[in-house]
Structure 1
Amino acid sequence: MSTILSPLSSMATIPLTILGSPSSTPHNQTYCPTHDEALRVPQAVFYSLLFLVGLAANLLALWVFLFLRRRWDSMHILLVNSAVSDLLLLAILPFRVYYHANGDVWRLGAAACRLVTNVFYMNMYVNIAMLGLIGLDRYAWLSRRGGGGARCAPVRNPCGVPWTWVICGLVWGLALAMMVYGEANRPQDLEDRKCFQYNRWDSFGCIASINVALEVMFWVVFIMQVVSYGKIATSRYGRTARKSFFVLLLFTVCFVPYHVFRPIYIRSQFNPSAYDLCRIQQTHQVMVLVSAFNACLDPVMYFLLSGLMRKAAARALCTHSCRIRDALGALGTHSCGIRGGE
């Protein structure tokens, strides 16, 4: 399901690469300077904040998962893969900041534009896949736990670990394959000075069809999420249900607006006369920015789903507060012990 990637470029920040099959060649890039001027500074500021906050939070989460975890289970494997995809997406944001701060002028060449755009969307959809798998994992674990007698509960028992690695490997492999395929079918007559901008296409080619299929796949995953978390909410594990609900909330807030708008965006690329293209471009840029917030909100999900993450955060907070008090000349020694338990 995470093939939902690079091809999407064509609908997302318009990775000038991915709708570029011979049957769908770009036609006169449409550029709206008035709207772009209004969004240029806010985008540069928000992407900068997302990069700084998201980088610190995801690096902390990855450090906790890799170096403090003694036993691996399927949930933590999925969380690690989610954190890695977030960090790769965040690594692209400085390029977007550079582009918007530079007056929406791209000076790094068309190849660099294609690379950063494809990596951005690849990791966006890898993360969507991981969130979907996390939802299924939580539901499967609670179902087996409630039924009793299960030999291998997928979340707490290491029996599911090998299969979880295999599934994550397939997700990443499929994502990379789609990115390479999009690059191999890119159009050659792209403008070097623009990136993350709207493109028009002359015909509905095979890659455009894949993009539509991926849109359908997103909604299938979303429905699966709603069903899974709905069943969790009606279970007898109320505390787990409340924590799990945040994953569905995160998925809905960050990704649903983008995918609600995408069908309109795709249609406008093939029938531009029926749409206000400047408004389409402006709305699209806002939707992409909203989807990028996911990289900052995921660490909150890690905190809720991982007892190890909560203990590490509490320990770090206590240690920091002790150092501040010591620096201020506080009397006595402050104990920073953290109670165990997940």
Structure 2
Amino acid sequence: MLDLRNSLILTAYIIIFLTGLPANLLALRAFLGRVRQPHPAPVHILLLSLTLADLLLLLLLPFKIVEAANGLQWNLPEILCALTGFGFYSSIYCSTWLLAGISIERYLGVAFPVQYKLSRKPIYGVIAALVAWIMSFGHCTIVIIVQYIKPAEQGRNGSEFVCYENFTKEQQDVVLPVRLELCLVLFFIPMAVTIFCYWRFVWIMLTQPHVGTQRRRRAVGLAVVTLLNFLVCFGPYNVSHLVGYYTRKSPPWRVEAVVFSSLNATLDPLLFYFSSSAVRRAFGNGLQMLRDQGSALLGCRCRETAEVTNGDRSMNQTDGVPSSDFTTD
């Protein structure tokens, strides 16, 4: 029987999976429609890449659910431990640099609107996304490599195996320095870039008299959600790298920090909502469909609710710019 800690971890993973998967699938559909149009904005390529990173994490989350249900013991084949960790942590670190790239695009779009409009090309978004994926996957190959340096004898007790924990001395000598580099290169640098860009972005949006109230609110919401992603989701996990490097062992709360990292898959849809009118329409249509189905089951149509929703949808289509909402397209 699971103790309270493992039960909470299992519950958190299940909630993240059930809420994050449908929201990211809706966002994926919206962004695929945007990038298929002629001359898509670089930001939509970055947002599509961020959605794919979230979906990769969510598709691997069932393995973490099984692990939590077994009391954090890995009863699946060991190769799956390495592959799951590789994809899971690559997704997390890919997200940090994609968020930084989105913040740079937002800042350039409002600080230099004319130059940005004249010089932006879809290829820039593709290059930025490829760099983020290559950097994250390249660094996280350590998850696979460390499994074959020496068998994690300390992680075994009979048939029990703890995935990516309880390292031997040889493994620690490799893992801890790499984790420190991951923290510096793939967390602190993109976070510093993101904070600077969104500070300037929000300042410009709030001080320009021609910017409407709705766009100002979305700008603030976009900055707040992104900051929460770095501090609440990615922060504890990367702080565990610093603590582990200093103490020469993983802190006991690292498992909970990994849970917080996976929470970004449920926060990113909020970022998508504030970023793109296409996503707002997709979410609005999804909510309207649920309302219609609920009304049909109850034998009524809730006409007033539908009228309000249609009014909101019309406002979203006319308020701001269809492609990126914060640039002068």
CA distance in 1, matches of 2:231, 2:281: 28
Matched, 1:121 2:84: no
For 1:12-67, what per-residue CA distance to the aligned partner results, in whole angstroms no more than 9, with x for missing partners? Answer: xxxxxxxxxxxxxxxxxxxxxxxx94421111111111111111111111012113
Q: 1:89 aligns with which of 47, 57, 81?
A: 57
Structure 2 residue runs of 5 or longer lacking an equivalent are 209-215, 323-329
Query: What SS is found at the alignment partner of 2:161?
Result: coil
Matched, 1:57 2:35: no
Q: CA deviation at 1:214?
A: 2.1
- The one-letter amino acid paired with 1:286 is E
Other-structure match for 1:76: 44
CA distance in 1, matches of 2:232, 2:5: 21
Matched, 1:47 2:17: no
Structure 1 residues 166 and 51: alpha-carbon distance in aligned structure 2, compared to 1, 3 A threshold = same
Other-structure match for 2:244: 265
Structure 1 residues 317 and 223: alpha-carbon distance in aligned structure 2, compared to 1, 3 A threshold = same
More contact order relative to length (CA 8 Å, sep ≥ 6): 1
Structure 1 residues 193 and 141: alpha-carbon distance in aligned structure 2, compared to 1, 3 A threshold = same
- Paired residues for 1:2-13 under 5 Å: none
For 1:53-90, what per-residue CA distance to the aligned partner results, in whole angstroms no more than 9, with x for missing partners? Answer: 11111111101211366352111111111110111111
Of stretches 319-328 and 102-111 in structure 1, the one that deviates more from structure 2 is: 319-328
Structure 1 residues 331 and 244: alpha-carbon distance in aligned structure 2, compared to 1, 3 A threshold = closer
Structure 1 residues 60 and 188: alpha-carbon distance in aligned structure 2, compared to 1, 3 A threshold = same
Q: 2:232 aligns with which of 249, 253, 260?
A: 253
Q: CA deviation at 1:177?
A: 3.2
Other-structure match for 2:112: 144
Other-structure match for 2:286: 316
CA distance in 2, matches of 1:103, 1:252: 28
Give the TM-score normalised by the residue count of structure 1: 0.76
Q: CA deviation at 1:288?
A: 1.2
- The one-letter amino acid paired with 2:149 is P
For 1:99-142, what per-residue CA distance to the aligned partner results, in whole angstroms no more than 9, with x for missing partners? Answer: 12123332222211111111110111001111111111111111
Contact 1:201 1:269 in 2 (8 A): no
Structure 1 residue runs of 5 or longer lacking an equivalent are 1-35, 271-276
- Structure 1 or 2: more helix by fraction: 2
Contact 2:13 2:64 in 1 (8 A): yes
Contact 2:53 2:95 in 1 (8 A): yes
CA distance in 2, matches of 1:224, 1:242: 17
CA distance in 2, matches of 1:58, 1:78: 14
CA distance in 1, matches of 2:91, 2:6: 24
CA distance in 2, matches of 1:194, 1:252: 31
RMSD after superposition: 2.8
Give the fraction of aligned pairs with identical amino acids, expressed as a percent. 23
Other-structure match for 2:254: 284
CA distance in 2, matches of 1:287, 1:48: 16
CA distance in 1, matches of 2:303, 2:199: 50
For 1:128-176, what per-residue CA distance to the aligned partner results, in whole angstroms no more than 9, with x for missing partners? Answer: 111111111111111112xxx41x43xxx78321121022122223333
Of stretches 331-340 and 314-323 in structure 1, the one that deviates more from structure 2 is: 331-340
Q: CA deviation at 1:178?
A: 3.4
Other-structure match for 1:223: 192
Contact 1:73 1:158 in 2 (8 A): no
CA distance in 2, matches of 1:103, 1:250: 27
CA distance in 2, matches of 1:159, 1:293: 32
Contact 1:139 1:228 in 2 (8 A): yes
Query: What SS is found at the alignment partner of 1:92?
Result: helix
Q: CA deviation at 1:208?
A: 3.5
